[in-house]
Structure 1
Amino acid sequence: MFDLVRFELKKLFVRRASLIACAGILVMLCGIMTLNIVQTKTASDTGEVLNGTAAIAYQKEKAASHEGVLSVERVQDEVAAYKELAFSKVDPADVSGLSGEAAYALMKQAYDEDEFRAIYDTYYAYLFSPWKAGALEPYQVAAQLDDGAADGFYGAIADKLQRTLDDGMGGTWAYSDAERAYWTEKQAAVGEPLAYGYAGGWGDVLACLGFFAFAMVAVCVALTPVFAGEYQDRTDAVLLAARYGRSKLVAAKIVAAFVFATVYFALAALIIMGAALAFFGAEGGDLPVQVLSLGIPYDLTMAEATWIAVGIAYLITLGFAALTLLLSSKLRSQLAIFVTCAALIFLTGMVPSGGNAVLLHALYLFPLNALNDQVLFNSLVSYQAGPFAVDLVGLLVGVYALALIVCVPLAARAFRGHQVV
């Protein structure tokens, strides 16, 4: 059996077209991750635009200046200090009723460059986000807060979740009672107090999850000829007539296919995760995932959230590998197999939803939409399952595990039962 698996693996690795496509995609991923690092930009305290590693170093420095546990006492002090700075030259009433543009112009005119940059520090947009409604600037949110509002910082986070559920994805989705209870319980399980700090490397991996779609396409390209190639080369008659042609050989082909998919995915993950963690830094993995957004209702660290997301990408890759094997066992045209898989991977990410949340919930089950950190952890995507609710993470695991369970036996059965012409 081992020799058969090794032989089938060799066949996968030596096919010229597959080898070129797979190697080309790995090279492309290297280029994409290089650009991801080089094109990182930020503005320093002096107004200088920093690029690449200099920008990353500055982002680390800025986050480090605010790192620590977000205790209620700390939030109280920071809110008070911010209000003292932001309203030292402007009355709160003057900005609370203005549009964002008008308030920006007023603050820009009233404060010097150093004061204005301190007021616009992105950390304060993060800190005030639980009380934010609409597109208000941090100082507009601060202007509306009572002196004791900071005491209820964690209550404000919980209240914002309820407002988000009430909003129902912009009025396009009505959360059921089961879904509301699910998200409420999930948010209540998040540990307090939270901590803030730098976790840029882990955050960058999550932001780059969509690039795993290219690895999925490469796997589909390589696995397309596993069975269909035998039909086209007319070797199916010989193989199926052999002693183990309908048993061990079929199993060897399937095992080899999944070994190849696993190895290739691991190489893609090494490129994506390796580049992000090497240049953006691996620190902050133990910080809560809420460093990305206080509204995330998952009790996970940044490292845990990242590995879960990468694990889901791997499971989706295996699901598409299984689908490719099934199509390969049924169809002779390798082009038709590849086009079908590529369309499911890429075109489903381009379908306009038009504000239709039902359609959007269906599209979230495909790679380009699912592998988005804002969708996966931050968008409260859930589905009703009888009296229960399941989130997108759970449904993705279920759907692609089912794809594996269903497609693999069907592929084996189809090839074994193939009638040689």
Structure 2
Amino acid sequence: MAFANYGFGTQVEAPTLEAAGLIRQMTRDAGAWSGPLTPETLLAAQTDCREALAQGGDQSMDTLVQGDILRIAEPLFREAGVYTGQDWPARMTALSAETLAGFYDRRAEQLADRWADLPEAQRAALTALEAKVEKPFIYDWVPGHYQMLLLLNSVMLLVGLLLCAAVVPLFAGEVRTGVYALSHCARYGRAKLAAAKVAAALLFTGAAFAGAMALFVGIQLGAFGVRGLGASLQIENLFCAVPLTLGQTEALLLLGGLISCWAATALTAALSAAFRSEFPALVGVLAFLVALRVLLSSGVVGPVWDPLFQTLPFLTSAGEFSENTLLVLPGDRAVLAPFYRLAVQTLYLVVLLPLAGRRYSNRQVT
């Protein structure tokens, strides 16, 4: 997983010692260049790349950290019309020092052009985010870390589905087996029993989710180290307006994943309390977490219902941060989609957990 092809020029179909060596090489070499991405840094990288090309080195620049640095700036100058064509290493190394030094000014111009046709609410939201982005950006070699961040969403969804499947018998299992005829005669009352069961479910899913994510992050850090997490998100996508580092982005993804896990647990508890056996409750969970997710990604959901569907657990991905994904709310307000979900998914717990407890407590023994 960690040793797939991350832009080294040679396609790697499976983990190999060569791929692992290239990862270690790029991570190690980036240490000398890690830090503020100033115009001076760009010029120094350009000089090294020019010398490498003259000496007949890697013409693609894929195995040079200096080439990675120039590749960050390449889309900016190509879109600005400074040059055209496919031979980007030669063209980037041929740019004048004055042109390359205008990196941040040209980026500001490009952002203004990209956002010019957006509705006022979205343009204002992006402008407010961009104003908080620290410049110069912090550089490090990030392809490995970023690929793991893209994978994180799918891993969290899979873990969440497995945990929900484990929680499905929470209430429905008692009804199917007839145990609830005894548990409903508990000394301290049904409501307290329901609250204890819900608390135990939240503790179980939260701890299991945290353990799985700790394993994921441990594998990531073992493969790519810690240093790259301090790089600005703009290193991955130059036109990103979100003022975060990769490490901060991952922390928000993990926090959002934990909240999604508890939201899915609340949904599972409510369905478990609503049915007399586990199977229909499990089908309901899968329909909500998977089928509705597919429906949303198909684009058939209209803008009126989009804010509601966007509350689904486990939707947030690293790409939403790097691609400036906004959600337009009623009243023509725009907010970054991951932040919206962080705010509203707690409603699953506030609404569904009391409903689950009440439904369980009110079920009549038959």
**If the TM-score is normalised by the length of the shorter chain, which range does it land in?**
0.7 to 0.9
CA distance in 2, matches of 1:126, 1:266: 34
* Residue 381 (structure 1) aligned with residue 326 (structure 2): yes
Mapped pair 1:239 → 2:174: no
Q: Residue 264 of structure 1 aligns with which residue?
A: 208
Evaluate the alpha carbon distance shift between residue 355 and residue 159 of structure 1 in structure 2; reply closer, same or farther with a 3 A threshold.
farther
TM-aligned CA deviation for residue 321 of structure 1: 0.3
- Matched with 2:119 is 176
Counterpart in the other structure of 1:98: none
CA drift at 1:126: 1.1
Which residue does 1:406 correspond to in 2? 351
Q: 2:275 aligns with which of 331, 339, 356?
A: 331
- Deviation at 1:44? 7.4
Asked whether the equivalents of residues 131 and 141 of structure 1 are also in contact (C-alpha less than 8 Å), the reply is no
**CA RMSD, 1 decimal:** 3.5
**Greater displacement, 146-155 / 405-414:** 146-155
The letter of the residue matching 1:193 is P
Secondary structure of 2:79's counterpart equals: coil
Q: Is the 8 A contact 2:6 2:143 kept in 1?
A: no
Residue type of the alignment partner of 2:165? V
CA distance in structure 1 between the partners assigned to 2:91 and 2:190 by the alignment:
69
Alpha-carbon deviation of 1:325? 0.4
- Residue equivalent to 1:37: 2
In structure 2, do the counterparts of structure 1 residues 339 and 223 end up closer, same or farther at CA, with 3 Å as the change threshold? same
Task: Confirm or deny: 8 A CA contact 2:170 2:272 kept in the other structure.
Answer: yes
Q: Return the letter of the residue paired with 1:226.
A: L
CA distance in 2, matches of 1:119, 1:235: 63
1:59 and 2:26 matched: yes
Q: How far off is 1:63 after superposition?
A: 3.2
Structure 2 portions without partners, runs of 5+? none
Percent identity (aligned): 24
In structure 2, what residue type is equivalent to 1:250? A
Task: Check whether the contact 1:183–1:380 (CA below 8 A) recurs between aligned residues.
Answer: no
Q: Which moved more, 1:189-198 or 1:293-302?
A: 293-302
Q: In the alignment, what sits opposite 1:316?
A: 260
Structure 1 position 293, deviation (Å): 2.0
Of residues 217, 227, 237, the one that matches 1:283 is 227
1:155 aligns with one of 105, 119, 126: 105
Conserved 8 A contact 1:349-1:366: yes
- Rounded to whole Å, the distance in 2 between the matches of 1:56 and 1:356 is 41
TM-fit CA distance, 1:383: 2.1
* CA positional deviation for 1:326: 0.6
Task: State the Cα distance separating 1:155 from its structure 2 match.
Answer: 2.5
Give the SS at the match of 2:227: coil
Alignment check: 8 A CA contact 1:76 1:151 kept: yes
Please give the residue correspondences for 1:19-418 in structure 2 after superposition, counting only pairs within 5 Å.
Answer: 36-40=1-5, 43=8, 51-64=18-31, 66-76=33-43, 78=45, 114=57, 116-118=59-61, 121-133=67-79, 137=86, 138=88, 142=92, 148-166=98-116, 175-199=118-142, 202-209=145-152, 210-351=154-295, 353=297, 358=302, 365-367=311-313, 370-386=315-331, 388-418=333-363
Deviations 1:206-230 (A, max 9, x none): 1221211111011111111111111
Unaligned runs of 5+ in 1: 1-35, 89-110, 168-174
Matched residues in 2 for 1:44 and 1:58: separation? Answer: 14
Contact 1:178 1:384 in 2 (8 A): no
CA distance in 2, matches of 1:260, 1:377: 32
Does 177-186 or 67-76 show the bigger shift?
67-76
